[in-house]
Amino acid sequence: MLRAHPLLEETGDLSHSRVAILTSEEFNDFEVKIPWRFLRTRGAEVTVIGDVVGEVNAHRGDRTITVEKKTQDVSYEDFDMLIIPGGYAPGNLRSDRDAVAFTREFVESGKPVAAICHGPELLVEAGVLDGRRVTSIGGISDQLVDAGGIYVNEPIVIDGNLVTSRWPNDLPDFCLTIAYILANQGAEPEPGG
């Protein structure tokens, strides 16, 4: 439960934080909306970006979210963190040059990039995994390894500015970790925290 987690005390007010959530059609509704809500309730400015502006559909059910800006209309300089949720959206975004370039530039900037479930597919396409420890849903672990990543089956894997997580069951730890990083200007949580 989020209220009992030791990192929660160190996430506090995030009103100084600007976060981009990169998604598209067939997103995973939990992986988009839970971090979106968690960060917004702590004051972060959260902007949903993607390949189109307007409502996009989740891959299950009738849930939607509104993409506010296209990736071609923003810069990594506009944000403090990038979140790449899963579902089928990352696979769809792999063919969008602007989304791939935005992801690459964000990682190369040194700012934190957090991806969950199928989200690391976009990191594969951006070519930023060489020698990096990462995790994801098991079904794409071979893609991460083929792209030079070192696959680790753990709920949260932090390697420099990359934060990766496996699937929706890991969302409590994922949300707390990204909030902690934002609150502490990119610092990694202590091991075991």
How many Å apart are CA 101 and CA 123, to the nearest integer?
10
Confirm if 7 and 176 have CB atoms less than 8 A apart: yes
Backbone angles phi, psi at 81, to 5 degrees: -155, 150
Token pair of 187, please? 């610092």
Catalytic annotation, residues: 117
CB 53, CB 81: distance < 8 Å = no
The one-letter code for the residue type at 193 is G
Per-residue DSSP letters for 131-169? T-EE---GGGHHHHHHTT-EE--SSEEEETTEEEE-SGG
Q: Any idea how long the chain is?
A: 193
User: 138-158 b/e with 16+ CB inside 10 Å = b?
Assistant: eebbebbeebebebbeebbbb
Query: Encoding tokens for residue 159?
Result: 């390697």
